[in-house]
Structure 1
Amino acid sequence: MHFDEILSLVGGFGKFQKVLYVWICLPQIFLAFHMLVSVFTGAVPPHLCRSTVRPADLNLNLSLLSSTDADPELSCGIPLNHSAAAGPGHGVPPGSCQGGWEYSTETFHSTIVTEWDLVCDRASLNHFGSSIYMFGLLVGAVVFGSLADKYGRRNIVLISLTIQVVFGVCAAFAPNFYIYTALRFMVGTSISGVIMNVFVLGTEWTGSKERMLAGIITDYFFGFGYIMLAGVAYLIRDWRKLQLAISAPGFLFISYFWLLPKSARWLMANDRKEEAWELIRKAARMNGKPLTKDLEMWEVNKIEEKTEVKRKHSFIDLVQTPKMRKQSLIVFYLWFVNVLVYYGLSLNISDFGMNIFLTQLVFGLVEMPARTITLFTLNRSRRISHSAFLAVGGTACLLTIFIPDDLTVVKTVLAMTGKFGITASLSIIYVYSAEVFPTVIRQNGVGISSMCARIGGALAPMMHFLRAISPQAPMVLCGICPLLGSGLTLLLPETAHKPLPDTIEDVEGYTIRVKDGGVKPVV
């Protein structure tokens, strides 16, 4: 008997699962905070070199820069004894300021940029810091993905939440930029551990009919965090207080040591049937569908018949067989391109020329209808839905390159449309990939997928440097990559309304039997 059939007997999305999803969804709000807070803590206010402008003129010139929405790096080339309004010149080479920098406090009281002078010749450190944080997500995906398959989803979630709150709070007291970056790197590793494992834990406890809805619910809470961050950052303009505000509440997750259950599906796949059945009985009781003893013993026997051959699995199994290899490589690319474009748009909202808090709010609000629409399309087809939304996102991003710079509203609307398509496709790939990979290597598959996604995330802040080649280069990349992914998605199998595969043999379409002491595939 398939585990999904057991779930149908105990309730695929009853009270037990609903309570579980409450615990799964709450951390998503704080994940959004940590993922996007650098938009505000790393913001670059208008600034001037004290040695280039008379002290009496500093406030006036900073006000001019702020009111005209000038490029923050304009002041790097302001000549000696000239006002900010005069524009860039050749009297002071960029980065040669000896008297220190003066920053406008009209929007932010302090950021890591103003505290550690990450402007002009040091401006690249700000982008590299964001990339190192994203690289932390990559390391976390590799480490926590494999550990979760070995030690269980729940244990890794608890460890990751602990790392997140401890290092997140410490980052608020960092004495210099390099320690701050190292602490943020550790927070990044924990983000991957939480994102991957709470999602897989929820998926493995949810019946096939409700799996899609449950997966989208977690994404909603990330969207809520996205929107809430705009308000929190608007109220708290000091970066240290903001960092503390998004991190300290994480101590409440200590209660998860008593609240969060293990995955019965993972326990069953790892031959820990007694623990699994104890949890299944608990779920059945909470859902009002207790199992009879005779039925329970019959199900155990059926499961033992199906799993008569056991072997250890690793990430190598993702590419050893033909269908599994093709599906894995496509899913890996889809995660990469979704996250590259998602954070390429999200972390560079200042490029669109509108108020940073308003743009953050609008981009957050776009997430809600984007996630909602997938509820109506996923039930019909995972494959067509994902392909279509990638095509919408890529096309909208490409169209922005044809809009003049002075039409900022039009460019922002197109960027929002691109964000809409990418957000919807990102919601789908979470559900889709969990259904493509079989239980025995699901966490390995999601882990390496997340690793590929984090490569995209690490490269997203670097897209800013492509503007040195052409101002349109970042949006061209954000358009072409999703369109390629849209075509590749059509090569994946349809998984809507189908049970989760438990073994690689389920994916390949053949069974395994033991013959003459060996393992033989039977087509």
Structure 2
Amino acid sequence: MKTKMDTNAKVAEKAMDLDDVLVNELGQFGRFQLYNILLVAAPMVFSALLNEYVFSAGAIPHRCHIPECDPIVDEAIYSPEWILNAVPKVGEGFSSCWRYESINGVNTTIDYCPAEAFNRSKMLDCDYGFVYARQNSVVYEFDLGCKEWLRTLAGTLNSIGTLLVMPISGFISDRYGRRVTLVVSLFNVALIGLIRAFSVNYPMYLTMQLLQTALGGGTFSTAYIFATELVGPKYRMAVGVTCSSMFALGQVVLGGVAWLVPDWRHMTLILFVPCFIFISYYWILAESVRWLLSKRKYEEAREVLEKVAKVNGKQISDSSMQALTSHPTPILKKTSSKSNLIASVFKSSVLLRRVCTTPVWWISTTFIYYGLSINSTSLSDTMYLNYMLTGAIELPGFFTALFLVNRLGRKPTLSGGYFLCAACNIAFAFIPVDKTIIRLCVYLLGKYGIAMVFTSLYLFTSELYPTEYRHTLLAFSSMVGRIGSIVAPLTPVLREYWLGLPSILFGCMGLISGLLILTQPETLGSKLPDTLAEAENLGTPESKLKQVS
């Protein structure tokens, strides 16, 4: 009797599956899907602009103000001819945070500042303020010289906001729909960005940085759902890669705007005020069909499905429409719970190893991915171009992964991407600073490798877990992975101890994750596991899909 009920439930569920209707009737990728993707492409591009702190709060060269020789701070030149008489030499440049003690009784002027005027055996802090190389940054305006940990806090709070946005956007999305979530997120991005452009102090700037991502950081994920949910299974991964490419394109746009408009307040206004335009999406964009069906808003779902059929030049049968828009079969009471999940994890050594392994991949990936983007601005004097190139190089990385993941397999693609990234970062740490072109090429090759990983990791992680626990454990891995993006903005500070230290960290994390990938079974050609037993058997001949001749 129990088997019969399970079978009936599966049949009913199968009859209501939207993917079946897309494959057999509406079309897996038609004009409506293309129109939908084009609409949400712009919000996905704008979602990358939330990383503008890389420029507005980016590190800028600075030194101690020398009142014996300098004019007032705002009129002082960053690198006058006499600077090494008053400030210690460091590498090819001079110290940012120390100066020599002055000797009383030696006459100095703005034009005359001899070495004899300073006691070169004793160094002092910058008690008289700082002189900055440029004045269009948060660092200058709020006087953050030699406060690197405070400066990089902007990036950390930005990443913490992306963690906080999950429950916030999840609640709005479940309660009011995907369309409302997208519009509200974009409105928050625009409004808080507008307010942040008029920050009167650094605490206000930091608060707005956190709020902007905590209330608007759900833009990309919501737009991603809109782009992929009405595409058939055959094209879903390709569309997903295209969505990731929109984010990469957004990074190129961000670098270009920052280059053309270096003043941080004007740049912030130009980047975020246009987001107010997306309020119109409430009337332009059709609501998510899957959300409408899940909330039993069947009339609205029917209207959207009929529109899809009309635009695609297809027809949806009455039986399919009835199956999708009728009340679902009562769902049997779930037997799984949080306690059952924890118990299952500890009872299964295979599952426990995966639960301990997959979050490491996600931490490494977000740490390296965002760390390379943030540190790219310090590669050379052309920081804007460097950032644009590190965004652009992701595009071939994404599509290389799309080509390889279903041919070579998940493990070779992921481990290859990690090892390539690790090798490039470790090598980069030891390339002389004057070899600018070589350093840039190796750096970009490392970003290319981690881009391959980023677009493949979601797929491989989801295939390792059984259906019953897949969503929960995938979400757990992704959430823990946010640790990497939270820590990544702090890595530029490590350059004070050794220029190559951030790169060595990226390389080591990539090497560890690449090796951990090899400990898991290959999932290419395997049936997606429904049960714990099937998940444990991945990699065995029994787990492979049977070929029908």
When the two structures are superposed, what TM-score results if normalisation uses the length of structure 2? 0.78
- Aligned residues of 1:52 and 1:78 also touching (Cα < 8 A): no
Residue 127 of structure 2 corresponds to which residue in structure 1?
96
Per-residue deviation at 1:254? 0.3
Residue 335 of structure 1 corresponds to which residue in structure 2?
362
Alignment of 1:469-484 (within 5 A): 470-484=498-512
1:113 counterpart = 2:149:
no
Higher deviation after alignment, 259-268 or 352-361 = 259-268
Of 192, 196, 205 in structure 2, the residue corresponding to residue 171 of structure 1 is 196
> Separation in 1 of the partners of 2:336 and 2:165?
20
Which AA in structure 1 matches 2:403?
F
Of 26, 42, 53 in structure 2, the residue corresponding to residue 26 of structure 1 is 42
How many aligned residue pairs are there? 496
> Separation in 1 of the partners of 2:243 and 2:118?
48
Of 17, 20, 27 in structure 1, the residue corresponding to residue 33 of structure 2 is 17
> Separation in 1 of the partners of 2:241 and 2:255?
22
Alignment of 1:259-278 (within 5 A): 259-269=284-294, 275-278=300-303
1:225-273 CA distances to partner (integer Å, 9 max, x unpaired)? 2222222112112110011111101001101212333333344456655
Residue 206 of structure 2 corresponds to which residue in structure 1?
181
Residue 370 of structure 1 corresponds to which residue in structure 2?
397
Change (3 A) 1:248 1:366: same
Helix, strand or coil at the partner of 2:131: strand
1:100-137 CA distances to partner (integer Å, 9 max, x unpaired)? 333233xxx410011011012x3321012221122111
1:125-174 CA distances to partner (integer Å, 9 max, x unpaired)? 10122211221112113433465456543333232222111111110001
Residue 413 of structure 1 corresponds to which residue in structure 2?
441
Per-residue deviation at 1:281? 3.4
Unaligned runs of 5+ in 1: 511-523
Residue 77 of structure 2 corresponds to which residue in structure 1?
59
Per-residue deviation at 1:92? 4.9
- Aligned residues of 1:118 and 1:124 also touching (Cα < 8 A): no
> Separation in 2 of the partners of 1:237 and 1:64?
29
> Separation in 2 of the partners of 1:119 and 1:389?
37
> Separation in 2 of the partners of 1:357 and 1:228?
10
Of 232, 235, 249 in structure 2, the residue corresponding to residue 210 of structure 1 is 235
- Aligned residues of 1:371 and 1:423 also touching (Cα < 8 A): yes
Change (3 A) 1:319 1:146: farther
Per-residue deviation at 1:197? 2.4
Per-residue deviation at 1:492? 5.9
Alignment of 1:93-492 (within 5 A): 93-97=124-128, 100-105=129-134, 109-120=135-146, 122-145=147-170, 148-149=173-174, 152-269=177-294, 275-297=300-322, 304=328, 308-309=331-332, 311=334, 321-322=344-345, 330-380=357-407, 381-430=409-458, 448-467=476-495, 470-490=498-518
> Separation in 1 of the partners of 2:195 and 2:40?
25
Residue 7 of structure 1 corresponds to which residue in structure 2?
22
Higher deviation after alignment, 333-342 or 291-300 = 291-300
- Aligned residues of 1:50 and 1:58 also touching (Cα < 8 A): no
> Separation in 2 of the partners of 1:104 and 1:295?
66
> Separation in 1 of the partners of 2:335 and 2:181?
20
Helix, strand or coil at the partner of 2:234: coil
Helix, strand or coil at the partner of 2:124: coil
Which AA in structure 2 matches 1:175?
V
- Aligned residues of 1:12 and 1:206 also touching (Cα < 8 A): yes
1:42-86 CA distances to partner (integer Å, 9 max, x unpaired)? 331444414253329943735898xx99888724213247589x9
- Aligned residues of 2:56 and 2:138 also touching (Cα < 8 A): no
Residue 518 of structure 1 corresponds to which residue in structure 2?
none
Residue 521 of structure 1 corresponds to which residue in structure 2?
none
- Aligned residues of 1:141 and 1:447 also touching (Cα < 8 A): no
- Aligned residues of 1:284 and 1:290 also touching (Cα < 8 A): yes
Helix, strand or coil at the partner of 1:53: coil
> Separation in 2 of the partners of 1:262 and 1:325?
39
Per-residue deviation at 1:425? 1.5
> Separation in 2 of the partners of 1:497 and 1:414?
34
> Separation in 1 of the partners of 2:174 and 2:411?
27
Per-residue deviation at 1:341? 0.6
Unaligned runs of 5+ in 2: 1-13, 84-88, 103-107, 536-549
- Aligned residues of 1:61 and 1:83 also touching (Cα < 8 A): no
1:190-214 CA distances to partner (integer Å, 9 max, x unpaired)? 4531222222343332211101110
When the two structures are superposed, what TM-score results if normalisation uses the length of structure 1? 0.81
Higher gyration radius (CA): 2
Q: Which has the higher contact order (CA 8 A, sep 6+)?
A: 1
Higher deviation after alignment, 416-425 or 324-333 = 324-333
Which AA in structure 1 matches 2:437?
V
1:340-369 CA distances to partner (integer Å, 9 max, x unpaired)? 111111111244334212312322332222
